[in-house]
Amino acid sequence: MTTSTTPDLLAELVDAAREQTERRRSTVPMAALERQITSAPPTRDLAAALRAPGLGVIAELKPRSPLAGPLTDRYRPAELARSYTAGGAAALSVLAHEAGFGGRPEDLATVRAATELPVLRKDFIVDEYQVAEARALGADAVLLVIAALDPARYAELLRYAETLELSVLVEVHSAEEAEVALAAGARIVGVNHRNLRDFSIDLGLTGRLRPRIGAGRVLVAESGVRTPADATRLRADGADAVLVGETLMRSPDPEATVRALAAA
């Protein structure tokens, strides 16, 4: 499926995630995933990793972006994971969405084997199958995007992830979405500075939403973080961590770039 830079991009990405899920379910049924989960290792605590002193960096691995196109001509997940870990990342985010980002769920297992850090499945999750698949492949956490789910469905997926001992990063882009996230009990909230409908970036959103999210929850600032100065600003605005993708994927020295962001 080809994505486009139109206001329907979010809907296209969600539709592609559904198609991917059905295709994979037809090959590996849910019962098989559940058997794999019984022998999966314990999950690593994402919230604890992000609460460590200083600004946490969730370093992202993705071959391409539906907006920016290819980000690298040499995608080596294990190698990147080791570089990010050496640079002082707090956790790793792995794109598992095939059509829009060129990722694969199998990359979760590759990255898990290359690091001791918590590993997040970054995707448009709409089905319990994706959550179970993440756990079976070694992920420690999953992303739920409020804009892609109605409140009842979001709450169901959050609860299901928790039964599998997965951490959940809940992504919001407005005060209204933050209220939905918190009402169901979100403990780690990601503020996406990018509007997925017009693609604008608003780095000030983290500071405006921090009071609503509350000091007791972990806040992750997402999208548009390009420099240590951006990271410093977001830390001052109350972010516990930043999630950084394109900047790292384009960096000639991702280890050094992670280190500079983490020192902000």
Query: Model confidence over 16-29: pLDDT tens digits?
Result: 999 999 999 999 99
Residue identified by tokens 């920016």 is 68
User: Looking at residue 32, what is its pLDDT?
Assistant: 98
CA 117 to chain centre: 14
Which tens digits make up the pLDDT trace of 190-246?
Answer: 999 988 777 789 999 999 999 999 989 999 999 999 999 999 999 999 999 999 999
Active site residues: 60, 62, 122, 171, 192, 222-223
pLDDT averaged over every residue in the chain: 94
Q: Which residues of the chain have pLDDT under 70?
A: 1-7
User: Looking at residue 1, what is its pLDDT?
Assistant: 32
User: Looking at residue 195, what is its pLDDT?
Assistant: 82
What domains are defined for the chain?
A: 9-262 (3.20.20.70)
- The Cα-based distances of 120 to 59, 141, 159, 183, 197 in angstroms read 10, 5, 17, 23, 24
User: Looking at residue 264, what is its pLDDT?
Assistant: 87
User: Looking at residue 4, what is its pLDDT?
Assistant: 36
Q: Which helix (H) or strand (E) holds 243?
A: strand 241-244
pTM of the model: 0.94
Using alpha carbons only, how large is the chain's radius of gyration in Å? 17
The token pair that represents 146 in the structure block: 């409020």
Q: Which helix (H) or strand (E) holds 179?
A: helix 175-183
Query: Which of 109, 44, 42, 124 is closest to 77 using CA atoms?
Result: 109
Torsion over CA: 108, 259, 50, 184 (sign): negative
